[in-house]
Amino acid sequence: MSDKNKDFYDRFPDEEGDKKPLSPIQALRRRVLIIVSVMAGVFIILLLALQVARPALEKMSDTPQQTESLKQMHYIGKCMIFYTVRNDSFFPPKLSDLHKSGFVINLKDFDAPELPGKVETVDDIDKFPDYIYLVPPKTKIGDKYIPVLRENREGGITMLISKHGISWDPPLSK
């Protein structure tokens, strides 16, 4: 530390105005006080910045998040694409045909915990659905995305499928 800085940190005026050297403990206390003051200022600036950013963060929380239901929909979508490959590009006539033809083996994959339907048998897949199947009969997969599945709840996410893959409406946040 230069003599100029040492003089600034380590000396203070007494009652008569003369500068006397600080003891090592007093010098350390002064340095700690300066560091704590700077850190408190940075903390206050951070809090103000978060208050300004809060509306944008709240808006971001309105975008759909990856739920168990969406993970299951994605799995069903992949199985549906495999089904179209094996069946001359045709989608299954009913959602339960994915299970009957062996593309989705576990019935629990059709039963999302956060959705109202309850799937215990193959017939329940179409009768009490967690997912609403949107594909008309004899529809082929193509280059254009078409709606295939929708969550069975108000504001539910819709899965779209094309030869290029799976998409979502509304789009999912990363």
Q: What is the pLDDT of residues 102-125, one digit of tens each?
A: 999 888 888 888 887 788 888 888
Question: Which residues sit opposite 162 in a β-bridge?
Answer: 165
Strand, helix or coil for residue 21: strand
d(CA 90, CA 81): 9
Whole-number pLDDT of residue 9: 46
pLDDT at residue 147 tops 60:
yes
Please confirm whether the linkage preceding 170 is cis (ω < 30° from 0): yes
pLDDT at residue 54 tops 90:
no
Q: Dihedrals φ, ψ of 82, to 5°?
A: -60, -40
Of residues 120 and 36, more confidence is placed in 36
Q: Dihedrals φ, ψ of 157, to 5°?
A: -75, 140
Whole-number pLDDT of residue 63: 45
Of residues 4 and 117, more confidence is placed in 117
Annotated domain spans of the chain? 3-60, 68-169
pTM, 2 dp: 0.61
pLDDT at residue 11 tops 70:
no
